[in-house]
Every structure is written in structure tokens, then in C-alpha cells.
Structure 1
Amino acid sequence: MRISTAQFFETTSSKYQSNYSSVIKTQEQIDSGVRIQTAADDPVGAGRLLQLQQQQDMLAQYTTNMNSIKSSLANQESVLDTINNALQKASELALQAGGGVVSDADRLSIANELGNIEEQVFSLLNSKDASGNYMFSGSKTDTPPYTRNNDGTYTYQGDDTQLNLKVSDTLTLAGSDTAKSIFDGAINTGRTQAELTTKPATAVDGTVSVSGGLITSSPVFNKDFSQGQPYQVEFLSSTQYVVRDGSGNDITSEVPGNGVFDATKEGAHSISLRGVDFDINLNLKDIAAADQDDAVKGHIFTLEAKPDSFNASRSPGNTSTAQITGSTVDDAKVYGDSFPASGAVIKFTSDTEYEIYAQPLTANSKSIANGTMTGDSLTAMGVTFDFTGARAAGDQFVVSANNHQSQSALDTISQLRQALATPSDGDVLAQQKQRDAINSAIGNLKNASAGVDTARGSIGARLKAVDTQTAENDSMAMANKSTIAAIGNTDMATASIDLAFQKAMLEASQLAFVKISQLSLFNKI
């Protein structure tokens, strides 16, 4: 077989280049420490390295998320700790106001201190994080959680959405808590009332009073008290009463003491009725002992849950000066069936025609009621709204309902402050209202503190989960790095042996090429 000069040159040159490339590649692997420099070096290994790198990137993102969660939760915990201290101080002031001999001046001083606490808590709840986002507004991070209304009440403006971040392939943690879940869910212990409906013609106001009541068991209240209201308590004498439910049934036997009480002994003058305690207070110091029974007999009080109240506000863009001055439930069934739980927006299309929407009002909202006003009031969804001033087309009014089942700490402190700032020396009825406000505030502040403690416990649990997940992710990252090194890094010992062998092959191919290329038939002549 003949081998042409061109074929020989091409073959030996190709072999030389192949050996040279092998030497260069091995040398690069040794210098860089990376074995797989292109997918062609090891397709299977390159695919595995890509998967491992993607997992490393995810672990890095999880680390970023966990750092963000830890920072956010640490800030929230610090704020909640300060708020809890403020609530504890408010509770101490409430106890101080309700104990011993306290004058109007003393109560006013306490009210002023409560005002400072109220401002502090209000400011803390509207705290921002390092990025300028409100911490307790849920997903509405650009909206302050609470706003103060003209009547001194507070309205929550955020939502109930927690901001969640993934910290592993299977675990998601909340990096925030909403003020609504922490504070607005606190059970309101003072959501009942006692109203004097009948008294003897000769009786003096304040001779007999019954407190507004404190809920001692929410499940019993919801199940039994609510079903049987309104109740009537009729006093038969200065030591005995009878209780009837809304149907007129005598249920005195359900009450401890069976309707017998002693107003002179602490703990012996309460009406414990289906999860609610009502205190009886008699003012008989100026009445002869022989006339005391007649002075008390015939007083009848109605005991029931407080009716829903409404907070109404006008939109800033209204062109008129009209205001909603009052809102009352006319038809409880219609109100319960149709009034939106999120609140309603009354929008006027003319000075008398209106449309009502559920909150929030958007471009796609559909009206749930409409009509034409007659006079200065309108009735819709079982509620009558009273207005003052002429309305104009485009005016909007936002109305929120309060069923009093829960109460924020801000409203509790505000109500207590206002009650203590009202003079009551020498006024028995005013003093009873103050006692009701104090007793209710003590219970509500306790519930609010419990809500804060629960939130802090939840934060602690999530911080612990972050620490545990951090350790697990770090362990996984180290295992990944080890696997990446095993697959992608150069084995120096093996590579050194390969390099020596490849250099020898390169030198051999060089010598062979030189020798053979010098051969010619002319050398044989």
C-alpha cells in the first residue's frame, strides 16, 4: 500500500495537534483546578453540576429570605415589647383609678397620663421598618395601620395578609404580623349594657344602679346569653330581685344566690347571668332602714348586648360640607342579612339620589342598594343614616359597623381616658359609668396583653424555625460544595500523571514526524 506524502503529513500533523491539545487542556485543568471546563468534557457531570449550582443559588436566596425574616421579626418583637410595657402601665393606672378614694383631680391626672400612653401606642403601631414600609399593615405596606377618627376612635386601614417568604423547598414562614390579628382580635369584656327602664315615681335617681356587665365566659355568652336577651331584672326589695328572659320566663334559679343579695358585702351583690357578671349598687345612705325596701322595690333594668354602633366619615374629595351625624339599626334582621361586614360606601349621584357599595369601592364595584333621600335621612340595609347639610353629586361617605365583640387596645385606652376625664364627684350615675369603663378597660387591657404575648410567642417560634432551617440549609450547602468539588474539580495526582504521559506522547509524535518527513526516494539513489 502506498502512502502519499500529503496523506502522511496530514496524519502526523493531526496526531501532533491532538497530543498538543491534550497537554494544553490538562495543563489548564491543573492551573485552574477545574476539571469540567465545558459540557463536552463530561456531559453527565456537567448536567449534574448545573443541577447542584441551581440548588446552591436557591439556598443563597433562602438565606437572603431568612435574613430578611429575622430582621423583620426582631424589629416587630422590639416594638411589641415596648407596646406590652405601655399596656401594663395602662392597666396599673386603670387599677389605680378604680381603687380607694379618687377625686376628679386625681382621675384627670390619670387620664392625662393615659393620653400619653395612647399616643405612644398609636405611634408604635404605625412604626416603619428600615425600608420605610409600615410593619403592621399586612400587604398594604404603604398605608399606616391605624388612623384616628374625629370622635376619638381608631380605624384599622391595613389588611389581614401576612407577608410570607420561602426558606426551604418545603417551608414558608411569615415575616410579618398584622395589627388587626394582634390587637383588634382582643375580646371585649364590656360589650353588654344595663338600662333602667322602670322606677317608682318617688325614687331618687341613683338609688339603684346596675353595672354594664363584664363577660366572664365568651362561649357561654355566645351560646346562652345572646339567645335569651333582652333580660329584665326587677328588684323586689333591697335584698332580692327576680330575673326574666326575653320571653318572660323566670330564670332567677340560674343565678347564684337565687335572687338574694347583700349590697353591703363585697362579692355578694353580683348577678352572674349566663357568662356575664352585673354588679348591683345601692345608694341608701340618706334613706331610713325601714324605707329602704320600698325605695328599691319596683326598679327594673334591661340587660342585653350593646347594639352595633357605626363610625361614619366623609371622603376628603367631597365638594359639600355634609356630614353623617347618626346611624341606628331599624331592622335587625335586614341589617344582619345585608350590611357588608367590611363596611359600606354611600355615594351620591345627585343631592338626593344615592348608591351604596361594599368596601372597598373600586371601578368594578356594583351597587348593593340605591334610592332617593327624603329630608335629611336615608334608610337602607336596615340602618337609618342622619345627615346634616346639603349633599352634592359625587359625595362619598364611608360607614363601618362595630359589633363590639372585640376591641383594639387603642380604643380601650381612649375610652378609659375619656371616662376618667369626665367629672363625677357627687354624681352617682356618672360614677357608675366610670366604674363600668374602668372594669371593662382592665379586662380588655388584659386580653390585649395576652394577644401581644401570643404574637411574641409566635415570633419566637418562627425565629427558632429560621435558626433550625439555617443550620439545615448550611449543611446542605456544604454537602453540595463537596459534591461539586468531587465532580468538577481537578484531581491533581491523576492530572499530573496524565500530563506527564501526554507530554511524552507529544515528544514522541514530534520526533516521529521529523524523522519520517525527511525520508525520500532520492536518498536511496
Structure 2
Amino acid sequence: MRISTAQFYETSAANYSRSYANVTKTGDEVASQVKLNTAGDDPVGAGRVLQLQQMGTMLNQYNANIGTVNTGVVQTETAMTAITSAIQRAQELVLGAANATFTDKDRQANAAELKEVQTQILGLMNSKDADGSYLFSGSKSTTAPYSVNPDGTYSYQGDQTRNLLPIGSGISMAANTTGWDAFEQAINTTRTTTTLTSPAVNDNVIALSGGSVSNTAAYDNKFAPGEPYSISFQSSTQYKILDKAGNDVTADATSTGKFSSNNEGNQTIGFRGLELTLNVNLTTAQYGDAAQADAAIAGHTFSLAVSNSTVSTTRSPGNPSTTVVTDSTVTDQTQFNETFPSGGAIIRFSSATEFDLYAAPYDATTSKPVSSGTLTGTPVANQAVASGVTFTFSGTPVTLASGDQFTAQSSTQQSQNILNTLSNVITALNGKVDGDPVAKQKLQATLSSTIGNLTSAANQINDAVSDGGARAKTATDQGVTNQNLLDNGSNEAQGITASDPVDAIARLTLQKTMLQASQLVFTQLSALNLFSKL
């Protein structure tokens, strides 16, 4: 077979070039200790390395989210711990105010300090993180979670959203604690009310408190189904309790309806998980004569029922008119329970008299009215009745305009935030009590219920702190798992991309030898041509 000189040179050049490229590549591998520089070096290995890199990016993001969760837990726990300390001080002040030797001036001094405690707690509830976002507002991080309403009550302006962050494959963790969870679910131990129904004018002979829940299970299972109750005093030693169906349920009360009228001291009536305080205020002559005591006490009747829910309303700053809501009262508790939005409502006026009530937040494209109506009332139409609530507007006549909007927040009596609990006791302590035994009895009942609510608020915060601690532990444990996966992935990727120094040097030596051999063969064979024989 004949081989042309040109073909010989081309073949030799190609072989030399290939050998030189191999030497150069292996030399780079020895120098860098990396054997996988392009996908062409190892297509399968390159694909696996890419998968490992993507997994590493995801795991790093998971770890960053874990850091966010842990930071959030620390910040909220710091605020809640400070609130708990403030509650402890409030409990000391309330217990101190119950001292029998205290005067109105002493109680007012305690009320002044309680106001400072309330201001401190409000500031802590409205704490922000380093980015200026509110800690307890849920997803509404730019909205202060708590604000004071025109009627002096405090309401939660955030939402119940837990901001979930992925911390592992298929695992998400809340990065925040909402004010709803930490402060709004504190059980209100004083969620029932007594109302004197007979006689028509209160003569203060019998003082019966609204009661405090002492057994939640008994209250929910036995008391609530039978309310409202009627408590009627038959004599100076016996009372009778009827449930809403008229059944005599006196046997469920302590001492089966018996009480003492010998002195005005506090007496406790236990009834279906509820404890009521009874005080009897008779004259000296009546205390000493059973017949006079019977005549003075018999016929007094009280209604005992779950307290109605409350609604606080605020005007939107952008309203065309200056009209405000002067009063918002639950007038139909059943309808309120069935239709009023639990997350708050928006009242929007489409004209000067026509309105719609929507669930908050309002969206012009998707929101549908929960209730609609027209202003009513006498002597002027100044009331909007919707979902069991009557809203009263200012002005005679009322000058509402199309586009006016009002936000309504409901508060059931089943729970009460710490700010409103403090407001109630501050008001009571600032009242006149000296020389008024009835006022003193009412104050003692308020102080007892306040202690119960403060304890409930502290317990709710403790639960929120425990929840945060559990989340932090879970996130930290997952971080360890993530780091193990990162380390394993890094080791596997290094095994694919890293060069074996011994193998690479041996291969380089061989390739250099082959390059030198190809050079020598080319030199020797290039001499075997016709031109060299001329």
C-alpha cells in the first residue's frame, strides 16, 4: 500500500497534536487537582455534580430560613418575657389594692402605676425587628398589631397568618408568633353578666357579681347550654335558679340554694363551673330580725347570662365625609354569632344612606357583601343595622357620603387581651369607694376577676413562648440534618471532580513518553522519502 508524503505528514501531525493535547490536559489536572473541567470530561459525572450543586443551593437556603426562624423566636421570646414580668408587677399592684386599709388615694396611686405598666406592655406588643417590621402582626408586618379605639378599648389590627418558611424537603416552619396566638386567646374568666330584673330600681340590698369561671369544662358543658338563668331570692336564707327552659336547677348550686344574710361579707356561690360573689346589705334592725330580713330580700331577681360580644369601629382616614361612629352595639347576639365575620368587617357606603358590610380585608373585585341595608333610626336615620350589630353615626342629620368606609373589629367575651383587662381595673381603682360598701363590693369583684384574667394572660404567653421554643428546636435539629446532607454532597462532588494525584502524575509521565516517542517516530520516518534520495 502506498502512502503519500502529504498523507504521512497529516497523520503524524494529528497524532502529535492529540498526544500534545493529552499532555497539556493532564498537566493542568496535576496542577489544579481537578479532573472535571467540562461536561465532556465526564458527562455522567458532570450531570451528577450539577444535581449536587442544585441540592447544595437549596440546602443553604433552608439553613438561611432556619436562621430566620431562630432569630424570630429569640426576638418574640424576649418581648414576651418582658411582658410576663410586667404582668407580674400588675398582679402585685392589683393584690395590693385589695388591702382593706387602702383608701381611694392609695388605690389611685396603684391605678397610675398600672397605667404605666399598660403603656409598657403596649410598646412591647408593638415591638419591631431590625428591619422595622412588627413582630406580632402576622403577615401585616407594616401595621402596628395593637391600637386604641375611640372608646378606649384596645384591639388587634394584625392577622392570624403564620409566615411559613421551608427548612427541609417537605418541611415548613412558622417564622413568627402572631398577636392573635400570644395575646388574643387569653381566656376571660369573667365572661358572664348578672342583671337585676326585680325590683325595677336597684336598692342595693343584694349585690351579685357577674361571676368568674372556675371550671372551664363544667362551664362549657353545663352552664352555657342552659343560659340565660334566673336567680330569684325567696327569703333571707334561700334562692332559686331556673334555666332558660324554666327548669329548677338550684340543686347544681353550692349548698343547694342556701345562703346567709347575717352579715355583708362576701359569700361564694358555685354553679356549673362558675363562681359568683354574693353580698347582702341590710340595716342593723333587719340583720337582727329574720322577718324583716325576709321582707327586704325576697323578690330580688337577677338574670345570669353569657356577656354579649363587643364591637369597636374606626373611620377610614380617606373618607369623603367627616362622619364617625359614635356607638357600635351587639343587639342580636344570635345573628352576630352566625354572620359577623370573625376576622373583622368593613362597612362601605354606596350612597349617603345605603351600605354593605364585607368581611375584612375588602377587595373591590372579589369581596361580596355579608349584609346590606339602609340607614334607619328615630328621630333621624343615623343607624346601620348589620349582622346583629347596630352602628350609630354622628351628626343630625347624618352626612355620610358614597365611598365612606369604616372598619369594625369584634371581641367575644370568651377571651380578653391584657390591655383591656388593665383598662377595666384601672377604671375601677380610680372610682370612689371610701364610705360606700356597695362600691367596695363591686371593686372586690373586679379585682378578683382581674387576677384571674392576668393569670390567664400570663399562661397564654407562656404557651406562645413554649411554642416558639419547640419551633426553634425543630428548626435547629433540621439544620443538623441539612448540614449532613451538604457535607455528604460536597464529598461526593469532590470525589467526581477531584483528581487522584498519583494516577494523574503516572498518566502524565506516560503521555509525555508517548509524545516524545511520536516526535522521534516522526523524525525517523520523515527521512524515508524520495527527496532524501536525490
| TM-score grouping bracket, smaller chain normalisation | over 0.9
Q: CA deviation at 1:319?
A: 4.0
Q: CA deviation at 1:27?
A: 0.7
Query: Which deviates more from structure 2 when the two are superposed, residues 39-48 or residues 395-404?
Result: 395-404
In structure 2, C-alpha distance between the alignment counterparts of 1:86 and 1:359, rounded to whole Å: 32
AA in 2 matched with 1:379 = V
The answer for the alignment partner of 2:316 in structure 1 is 315
The answer for the alignment partner of 1:251 in structure 2 is 249
In structure 2, C-alpha distance between the alignment counterparts of 1:264 and 1:10, rounded to whole Å: 128
The 5-angstrom pairing of residues 473-484 of structure 1 reads: 473-484=482-493
SS of residue in 2 equivalent to 1:277: strand
Percentage identity across paired residues of the two chains: 40
What is the aligned counterpart of 2:267 among 266, 269, 275?
A: 269
Q: Tell me if the contact between 1:104 and 1:425 (Cα under 8 Å) persists in the aligned partners.
A: yes
Q: CA deviation at 1:285?
A: 5.8
In structure 2, C-alpha distance between the alignment counterparts of 1:329 and 1:63, rounded to whole Å: 49
AA in 2 matched with 1:52 = L
1:391 matched to 2:399: yes
Q: Tell me if the contact between 2:5 and 2:529 (Cα under 8 Å) persists in the aligned partners.
A: no
1:430 matched to 2:460: no
Query: Which deviates more from structure 2 when the two are superposed, residues 254-263 or residues 9-18?
Result: 254-263
The answer for the alignment partner of 1:452 in structure 2 is 461
The 5-angstrom pairing of residues 174-189 of structure 1 reads: 174-189=174-189
TM-superposition CA deviations, 1:284-336 (whole Å, max 9, x none): 36344113333222221111111222212222223434333333444444444
1:142 matched to 2:142: yes
In structure 1, C-alpha distance between the alignment counterparts of 2:498 and 2:264, rounded to whole Å: 84
The answer for the alignment partner of 1:373 in structure 2 is 376
What is the aligned counterpart of 1:216 among 205, 209, 214?
A: 214
Q: CA deviation at 1:279?
A: 1.1
In structure 2, C-alpha distance between the alignment counterparts of 1:287 and 1:501, rounded to whole Å: 125
Query: Which deviates more from structure 2 when the two are superposed, residues 190-199 or residues 362-371?
Result: 362-371
Go from structure 1 to structure 2 and tell me whether the alpha carbon gap of 1:162 and 1:379 turns closer, same or farther (over 3 Å shift). closer
Q: Tell me if the contact between 1:186 and 1:408 (Cα under 8 Å) persists in the aligned partners.
A: yes
Query: Which deviates more from structure 2 when the two are superposed, residues 433-442 or residues 412-421?
Result: 433-442
Q: CA deviation at 1:419?
A: 1.6
Q: Tell me if the contact between 1:200 and 1:298 (Cα under 8 Å) persists in the aligned partners.
A: no
AA in 1 matched with 2:247 = N
Q: Tell me if the contact between 2:266 and 2:279 (Cα under 8 Å) persists in the aligned partners.
A: no
Q: Tell me if the contact between 1:348 and 1:391 (Cα under 8 Å) persists in the aligned partners.
A: no
The answer for the alignment partner of 2:32 in structure 1 is 32
TM-superposition CA deviations, 1:72-119 (whole Å, max 9, x none): 211111111101111111122222222433211111111111111111
1:226 matched to 2:224: yes
Q: Tell me if the contact between 1:263 and 1:280 (Cα under 8 Å) persists in the aligned partners.
A: no
Q: Tell me if the contact between 1:312 and 1:399 (Cα under 8 Å) persists in the aligned partners.
A: yes
The 5-angstrom pairing of residues 54-203 of structure 1 reads: 54-199=54-199
Q: Tell me if the contact between 1:235 and 1:296 (Cα under 8 Å) persists in the aligned partners.
A: yes
Structure 1: runs of 5 or more not aligned:
none
In structure 2, C-alpha distance between the alignment counterparts of 1:336 and 1:469, rounded to whole Å: 42
1:296 matched to 2:300: no
Structure 2: runs of 5 or more not aligned:
none
Q: Tell me if the contact between 2:223 and 2:272 (Cα under 8 Å) persists in the aligned partners.
A: yes
In structure 2, C-alpha distance between the alignment counterparts of 1:382 and 1:494, rounded to whole Å: 85
**RMSD of equivalent CA atoms:** 2.2
Query: Which deviates more from structure 2 when the two are superposed, residues 312-321 or residues 295-304?
Result: 312-321
In structure 1, C-alpha distance between the alignment counterparts of 2:175 and 2:148, rounded to whole Å: 27
Go from structure 1 to structure 2 and tell me whether the alpha carbon gap of 1:292 and 1:342 turns closer, same or farther (over 3 Å shift). same
In structure 2, C-alpha distance between the alignment counterparts of 1:360 and 1:101, rounded to whole Å: 51
Go from structure 1 to structure 2 and tell me whether the alpha carbon gap of 1:267 and 1:60 turns closer, same or farther (over 3 Å shift). farther
What is the aligned counterpart of 1:472 among 476, 481, 489?
A: 481
Q: CA deviation at 1:410?
A: 1.3
AA in 2 matched with 1:149 = N
| Number of aligned residues | 523
Q: CA deviation at 1:180?
A: 0.7
Go from structure 1 to structure 2 and tell me whether the alpha carbon gap of 1:115 and 1:372 turns closer, same or farther (over 3 Å shift). closer
Q: CA deviation at 1:197?
A: 1.6
AA in 1 matched with 2:400 = A
The 5-angstrom pairing of residues 314-353 of structure 1 reads: 314-353=315-354
AA in 1 matched with 2:205 = T
AA in 2 matched with 1:383 = V
Q: Tell me if the contact between 1:310 and 1:402 (Cα under 8 Å) persists in the aligned partners.
A: yes
In structure 1, C-alpha distance between the alignment counterparts of 2:71 and 2:263, rounded to whole Å: 54
SS of residue in 2 equivalent to 1:422: coil
Q: Tell me if the contact between 2:373 and 2:384 (Cα under 8 Å) persists in the aligned partners.
A: no
Q: CA deviation at 1:160?
A: 0.5
Q: Tell me if the contact between 1:164 and 1:172 (Cα under 8 Å) persists in the aligned partners.
A: yes
TM-superposition CA deviations, 1:451-475 (whole Å, max 9, x none): 1111111111122122222222222
Q: Tell me if the contact between 2:229 and 2:243 (Cα under 8 Å) persists in the aligned partners.
A: yes
AA in 2 matched with 1:123 = G
Q: Tell me if the contact between 2:263 and 2:281 (Cα under 8 Å) persists in the aligned partners.
A: no
AA in 2 matched with 1:158 = G
Q: CA deviation at 1:265?
A: 9.1
In structure 1, C-alpha distance between the alignment counterparts of 2:151 and 2:252, rounded to whole Å: 40
AA in 1 matched with 2:190 = G
In structure 2, C-alpha distance between the alignment counterparts of 1:378 and 1:470, rounded to whole Å: 55
SS of residue in 2 equivalent to 1:303: strand
What is the aligned counterpart of 1:511 among 520, 526, 532?
A: 520
Q: Tell me if the contact between 1:122 and 1:146 (Cα under 8 Å) persists in the aligned partners.
A: yes
TM-superposition CA deviations, 1:38-77 (whole Å, max 9, x none): 1111111111111111111112112211112211211111
SS of residue in 2 equivalent to 1:2: coil
Go from structure 1 to structure 2 and tell me whether the alpha carbon gap of 1:119 and 1:17 turns closer, same or farther (over 3 Å shift). same
